[in-house]
Amino acid sequence: MLVGHATWHGGALCLWAERTGPHEPSGDVHPFATRDFTGTSYEPLLRGAVRVELNLSLPTAGDHPLPSAELGPEPVTGEPGLRPWRVPALVLEPFPAMALLQAAEHGGDVIPGTDLRFLCLLAEEAVTLAGRGHVLPALLREDGDLVARWRPVLDDPARFRALARAMPAACRAADGGRPAAHVLREALAGLVDTAVRGVVPHPLLPPRRGKAPDRLPLAERWVEALTGPSAEVAREPRDDPGELIAELDAWAAAARRPSGPLRVCFRLAEPGADEYETGEAREPRDDGSWRVEFALQGTDDPSLYVPASLVWAGEAPSIADAEETLLTGLGRALRLFPDLAPALDSPVPDGLVLDTAGAFRFLRQAAPMLAAAGFGVLLPQWAGKAKLGMKLTTRTEDPEASSGAAASSGFDLKALIDFRWDLAIGDESIDEDELAELARLKTPLVRLRGQWVELDQEQLEAALDFLRQPRRGRMSAAEAIRAIVHAGEDVLPLVDVDADGAFGDLLSGEADRRLVPMRTPDELDADLRPYQERGLSWLSFMNDLGLGALLADDMGLGKTISILSLLVHERRDGAVRPGPTLAILPMSLVGNWERETARFAPKLRVYVHHGTSRHRGDDVARAAAEADLVLTTYGTAARDAEALAAVGWERIVCDEAQALKNSGTRQARAVRSIPARSRIALTGTPVENHLTELWSIMEFANPGLLGPRTVFRQRFAVPIERDGDERAAAALKRATQPFILRRLKTDRSIISDLPDKQEIKVYCNLTAEQASLYRATVDDMLEQIAEADEKQRRGLVLATMAKLKQVCNHPAQLLKDGSRLPGRSGKLERLEEICAEIVEQGEKALVFTQYAEFGSMLRPYLAAHLERPVLWLHGGTSKQARDDLVQHFQHDDEPSIFLLSLKAAGTGLTLTAANHVVHVDRWWNPAVEDQATDRAFRIGQTRNVQVRKFICAGTMEERVDEMIERKKALADSIVGTGEDWLTELSVAELRDVLRLDPSAVSG
């Protein structure tokens, strides 16, 4: 086993590996290190790499460095210390380094260490910066030579600080260690330079006829070196690079300089468009010219817009120094947008007239750079949208497929379909004659079918090449699906798909509406609801196609019984039994699946592959062959992957499939390695934090369908999450919707008899003791953090957050002194009152806390106060005890309180006997809270559910709750990532967030 490691040192990526096995002390040479990657997937990228020896300061225990986390923890007595070790390594050239970083994150035969994974992330960041145009060319002196480099424009300081804080210490362990920010700037600059050189065409300028390269002016030699094979700029004795270097440095400084309350704004107006409305009537231009209008715009309020013509006319009296602000901004913009020069010859510049080529340069080059530098930019609505692309039309061979239900069409992935590829702009197809005319005009902006379209030479050449390829014929449905998913490169994207019949239903995501619902199988001891019958029909449809499926129904809508229905349906009327189904589950769900199978599908043969008594080796295949359904856990599946892979599985089902969301983990890789005819993922939260989690789950269900993870991040995750790219979001929906069935409990067309859920925020005051502890904790943290480095700062903030949560719960939880509980906590007092009311009404409640230690304190106290037993489930509860607690709570008629650890009981339980849910201490990810609430608010619940969320008034709990509410305005599939945002705040901002409002302290 090899664990790959990397550091950025000497301006290059340095790679080495850590191997397992016994060691012998060998002085200061790292005993586990190697630079031999022979036989691995890395080997082709390492040919010609320079061999070096690094001096790395690494955590050490005794006579050897501690192994990395990927090799498993090593018991250590005492405190490990840092010690320098000599490590053999390889230095990679820029392009092989970038290729390796883009491939390494997938693991494979070399497991990436945390340092290598971080540099993989940094490579993605560099590609993103290059793709967004957040780069500038530079001329630098390096070791006495002149070199042309591309350097990043880091216009998001918070992002840079977050990356610096996230950098593992191993990334900067060379030569005694260097500051994270220094290493980050150096690595990001090198990776950005490589990323740009990989996409910018060479050469930028056509060669001068009859003139040798070394005779060109310095500026042209510099431009040549920006994309050439070597970054070195050839020098001549007469060269004086100082002026060019100064100009480029000033350009970079202008791009980084923050703006004040007002900024200069540039608006591109197309020919024939009215001037920006100013109260002054103007005739539309009809001379075919474009115009960039100058204005002042509010930095915080973009709706404040004052055209330059009004500024020069003195009609902006309420804006102080308007003329000076406008002139100063235009002067700064000149460095980024040299075409401005003619307009600035006027004493009162209010705009710039451009021809079509100039307008295209503004759209593609100047506008992104000006926006990155903090200027306002307003573009026509069509900019970046109406784009030349491909349209795919398919028609099925079976005429009945277009009129009958998909389920009866006999359609499968091997079925042949007729296809035709066309060129299109938006929804409009264009023919060869129109394209030929566009090619003849050789203009980058053309008006076609009443809309303006950006069309550069690269697109035209791609379109003409497209027309030379076969564009009609037949292919299988599987080939069509892969073509649709993987089509859509930036040069010539896929803009439309027109398909009929079952194939069209599948691609449109409407197959579940078109299918005739199956009735509940006779041998299923349950009555399926109408939406569950449609779900069974859809699962059967996907199974017949051999496609993997993601059943993403909301929590509590019956995903388990949907799978059991499918298994019973397959074995109806004496049909030939298919192979066994393997269900991989969280350990907490094994008992639930056993009980539901015994209750609803008692004829299914079940084998539980878990625990010390489970079968081993070849016996696993024999036991599985005698079963219809095999239940195992994620942990067991990872350990026994080889034995499970030897079974001929009909399908694999992963319940709570968000367990696979981190694709590089050993567990996720092991589950994906087990072969099966088809796969089904079950999860109510297919995306908890990032879109790459959806990629990981889909990679399990339909391997390779969404392409490599790196490509998915570049094409979908980064544009959608960071830039809100609607086109990328639409493309992702088109690529995934055929394979996902999603229904929500809140949709009354799905389920109309589920009771209501009422959420209540319960505000509690701190006692005087709590307030004193709260202030002392905040003051102590602020005093330490003011002098801490970035790594210490992060740990201090998170540790303080945990302490403040404990203070808000109860002083005894923070002090851990076993002291008395009554009279010392506002939350505890309110919890007593609520629990007493619930018990007096003869009802039941679930009480969640994220702290097991606090639950252990609450249980005896509440039991004594309520004079009845209080149930308590936490991570240390055995499976049998857990099942007994659930059965007791669900079936005992007496009112009761069930106290639960959020982590141990937030998923996988059905506790519909409760119609009250109390969250004593909040978890800042709303999806986690909702999952816990849905233990009670799910099918089987007959009463309205009241959910109470405790908040200590006037504390950080109240202010973070306000921030959670703002986060909910984001797409429901993208949620916050916890408390890490607090670590990015300044000391003053932290003081404001964590401050205690004196009015919230009880007397």
Buried b / exposed e over 439-456, threshold 16 CB at 10 Å, is eeeeebbbebeeebbbbe
Confidence of residue 735 (pLDDT cuts 50, 70, 90): confident
Confidence of residue 918 (pLDDT cuts 50, 70, 90): very high
Confidence of residue 214 (pLDDT cuts 50, 70, 90): low
Half-sphere exposure (CA, 13 Å, Cβ side) for 195? 27
Question: Greater confidence, 940 or 873?
Answer: 873
Residue 832: is its pLDDT beyond 80?
A: yes
Lowest mean pLDDT among 9-13, 269-273, 985-989: 985-989
Preceding amide of 203 cis, omega within 30:
yes
Lowest mean pLDDT among 146-150, 812-816, 992-996: 992-996
CB within 8 A of 741, min separation 6: which ones?
512, 535, 538, 539, 549, 550, 551, 552, 553
Contact 718, 690 (CB under 8 A): no
**Residue 212 in tokens:** 């040798």
The predicted structure's pLDDT at residue 509: 56
Most confident of 53-62, 98-107, 155-164, 899-908: 53-62
DSSP string for residues in 149-217: EEEE----HHHHHHHHHH--GGGG-BTT---HHHHHHHHHHHHHHHHHHTTS-S-SSPPPTT--GGGS-
The predicted structure's pLDDT at residue 514: 57
Contact 588, 633 (CB under 8 A): no
- 524-717 and 757-1000: same fold? yes
Residue 620: is its pLDDT beyond 80?
A: yes
Residue 880: is its pLDDT beyond 80?
A: yes
Q: What is the CATH number of domain 757-1000?
A: 3.40.50.300
Confidence of residue 212 (pLDDT cuts 50, 70, 90): low
**Residue 530 in tokens:** 């109408």
Residue 408: is its pLDDT beyond 50?
A: no
The predicted structure's pLDDT at residue 440: 72
Which CATH superfamily does the domain covering 524-717 fall into? Tandem AAA-ATPase domain (3.40.50.10810)
Rounded distance between C-alpha atoms, residue 132 and residue 900, angstroms: 47
The secondary structure of residue 753, as a DSSP letter, is S
Lowest mean pLDDT among 405-409, 857-861, 882-886, 905-909: 405-409
Rounded distance between C-alpha atoms, residue 701 and residue 94, angstroms: 35
Rounded distance between C-alpha atoms, residue 781 and residue 785, angstroms: 6
**Residue 32 in tokens:** 């586990």
Instruction: State pLDDT tens for residues 557-611.
Output: 788 999 999 999 998 877 678 899 999 998 877 888 988 899 899 999 999 999 8
Long-range contact set of residues 466-472: C-beta below 8 Å, sequence gap at least 24: 466/390, 466/421, 466/423, 466/492, 467/423, 467/432, 467/435, 471/420, 471/421, 471/422, 472/418, 472/419, 472/420, 472/421
DSSP string for residues in 826-894: HHHHHHHHHHHHHHHTT--EEEEES-HHHHHHHHHHHHHHHTS-EEEE-TT--HHHHHHHHHHHHH--S
Q: Per-residue pLDDT averaged across 135-139, rounded?
A: 85
Q: Per-residue pLDDT averaged across 750-768, rounded?
A: 79
Q: How far is CA 803 from CA 813, 841, 875, 956, 958, in A?
A: 9, 35, 21, 12, 16
Percent of the chain with pLDDT over 70: 80
Confidence of residue 973 (pLDDT cuts 50, 70, 90): very low
The predicted structure's pLDDT at residue 426: 65
The secondary structure of residue 963, as a DSSP letter, is H
Give the residue carrying structure tokens 């696979």: 660
The predicted structure's pLDDT at residue 689: 66
Residue 401: is its pLDDT beyond 50?
A: no
Q: Per-residue pLDDT averaged across 17-32, rounded?
A: 78
Lowest mean pLDDT among 20-34, 244-258, 893-907: 244-258
Question: Greater confidence, 464 or 826?
Answer: 826
Question: Greater confidence, 676 or 960?
Answer: 676
Residue 672: is its pLDDT beyond 80?
A: yes
In the chain, where are the structural domains located? 2-197, 257-378, 388-508, 524-717, 757-1000
Rounded distance between C-alpha atoms, residue 698 and residue 725, angstroms: 21
Long-range contact set of residues 235-240: C-beta below 8 Å, sequence gap at least 24: 235/145, 235/146, 239/146
Residue 754: is its pLDDT beyond 90?
A: no
Question: Greater confidence, 647 or 217?
Answer: 647
The predicted structure's pLDDT at residue 979: 42
Q: How many residues does the chain have?
A: 1003
A 10 A CB-CB count for 182 gives 11
Residue 800, classed as helix, strand or coil, is helix
The predicted structure's pLDDT at residue 273: 64
**SS3 breakdown of the chain: % helix, strand, coil, rounded to 5?**
45, 20, 35
Contact 537, 517 (CB under 8 A): yes
Q: Which residues on adjacent β-strands are paired with residue 84?
A: 57
Confidence of residue 971 (pLDDT cuts 50, 70, 90): very low
Rounded distance between C-alpha atoms, residue 951 and residue 957, angstroms: 6
Instruction: State pLDDT tens for residues 887-913.
Output: 999 988 888 899 999 888 766 788 999
Q: Which residues on adjacent β-strands are paired with residue 946?
A: 758, 916
Lowest mean pLDDT among 230-239, 500-509, 669-678: 500-509
Percent of the chain with pLDDT over 90: 20
Confidence of residue 700 (pLDDT cuts 50, 70, 90): very high
Rounded distance between C-alpha atoms, residue 435 and residue 443, angstroms: 12
**Residue 552 in tokens:** 């993403």
Residue 958: name the closest of 775, 758, 762 by CA: 762
Rounded distance between C-alpha atoms, residue 284 and residue 274, angstroms: 5
Q: Which helix (H) or strand (E) holds 27?
A: none
Lowest mean pLDDT among 161-165, 215-219, 703-707: 215-219
Rounded distance between C-alpha atoms, residue 617 and residue 69, angstroms: 29
DSSP string for residues in 592-631: HHHHHHHHH-TTS-EEEE-STTS--THHHHHHHHT-SEEE
Handedness of CA 96, 99, 105, 109 (dihedral sign): negative
Confidence of residue 287 (pLDDT cuts 50, 70, 90): low
The predicted structure's pLDDT at residue 479: 75
The secondary structure of residue 716, as a DSSP letter, is I
Rounded distance between C-alpha atoms, residue 235 and residue 15, angstroms: 33
Residue 89, classed as helix, strand or coil, is strand
Q: What is the mean pLDDT of the chain?
A: 80
Confidence of residue 800 (pLDDT cuts 50, 70, 90): confident
Residue 211: is its pLDDT beyond 70?
A: no
Q: Per-residue pLDDT averaged across 174-198, rounded?
A: 86
The secondary structure of residue 313, as a DSSP letter, is T
A 10 A CB-CB count for 76 gives 12
Rounded distance between C-alpha atoms, residue 44 and residue 468, angstroms: 35
The predicted structure's pLDDT at residue 75: 63
Q: Which residues on adjacent β-strands are paired with residue 949?
A: 761, 919
Q: Which helix (H) or strand (E) holds 281?
A: none
User: Can you point out the beta strands (E) in 742-788?
Assistant: 757-764
Instruction: State pLDDT tens for residues 1-14.
Output: 788 999 998 889 99
Sheet holding 916-919, edge to edge: 757-764, 945-952, 916-919, 845-849, 897-901, 870-873
Task: Record the pTM.
Answer: 0.53
Residue 405: is its pLDDT beyond 50?
A: no
The predicted structure's pLDDT at residue 682: 92
The predicted structure's pLDDT at residue 795: 78
